[in-house]
Amino acid sequence: DSGVTQTPKHLITATGQRVTLRCSPRSGDLSVYWYQQSLDQGLQFLIQYYNGEERAKGNILERFSAQQFPDLHSELNLSSLELGDSALYFCASSASGTSYNEQFFGPGTRLTVL
Amino acid sequence: AQSVTQLDSHVSVSEGTPVLLRCNYSSSYSPSLFWYVQHPNKGLQLLLKYTSAATLVKGINGFEAEFKKSETSFHLTKPSAHMSDAAEYFCVVSVGRDDKIIFGKGTRLHILP
């Protein structure tokens, strides 16, 4: 158990809809990372937050947004969903904001868009 | 710009034989390099990391990796495979200068009885 929690575990929705994925980092970790894992694209870094502020941006679509709240939990919002957004979404946390620290991964949220 | 290439998408070895998972990287600056493992239906877990200290890095579960700057490689090895090693392995590069993290496409390791 990494100490990172993600809810929900599974999410099934329809095209055009909007969903919110939630992540709670390990106690004491200030950074939260979001990743998308799909069969065709592999593991893609989406975005990182550090202590409430956006720190780094990867291949995140404009339809997607994220935020980190004062209690350090984070939410990833996916809107105008398309079939291709079906994937496993991971959240990870680390103690600091630098990319050379170990990241602890949550169990993921499996999103299915029908 | 940095990149990472995992040279094999699948590797099969027999239980008790050595494991070699290959990773090459490209980076304009001194990189940090990681290997993560993902067991089926689980999140990723750090195996080991290199951050400019010793070039031979020892990780968990008997894995180790050697940073070779001249070959821009960071191959993962284990002397004797165990059935529980069957998983997907990701090589990761990060460069502190712009803090970007890039994952390789992964190598799926199969262990034959």
Contacts of A93 in chain B (CB under 8 A): none
Whole-number Å distance between alpha carbons of A107 and B34: 19
Q: Residues in chain B with pLDDT < 70?
A: 96-99
pLDDT average, residue stretch A29-58: 91
CB distance B103–A97 less than 8 Å? no
pLDDT average, residue stretch A37-60: 90
What pLDDT is stored for residue B41 in this prediction? 80
Amino acid at B11: V
CB distance A105–B101 less than 8 Å? no
pLDDT tens readout for residues A59-89: 899 999 999 999 999 999 999 999 999 999 9
What pLDDT is stored for residue A101 in this prediction? 80
Contacts of A55 in chain B (CB under 8 A): 99
What pLDDT is stored for residue B43 in this prediction? 87
Whether the CB of A4 is below 8 Å from some CB of chain B: the reply is yes
Nearest to A58 by CA among B63, B99, B13, B108: B99
Partner residue opposite B101 with nearest CB, options A2, A4, A99 = A99
Whether the CB of B102 is below 8 Å from some CB of chain A: the reply is yes
What pLDDT is stored for residue B98 in this prediction? 59
What pLDDT is stored for residue B28 in this prediction? 75
Q: CA dihedral in degrees (A35, B100, B27, B59; nearest 10)?
A: -60
Shortest alpha-carbon distance between residue B32 and chain A (Å):
6
- At residue B81, the 3 state secondary structure works out as coil
What pLDDT is stored for residue B38 in this prediction? 94
Whether the CB of A25 is below 8 Å from some CB of chain B: the reply is no
Partner residue opposite A99 with nearest CB, options B43, B99, B106 = B99
Q: Assess whether pLDDT exceeds 80 at residue A39.
A: yes
- At residue A86, the 3 state secondary structure works out as coil
CB A30 within 8 A of CB A50: yes
Amino acid at A18: R
CB distance B46–A4 less than 8 Å? no
What pLDDT is stored for residue B42 in this prediction? 84
- For chain A, what percent of residues have pLDDT higher than 90? 81
What pLDDT is stored for residue B96 in this prediction? 60
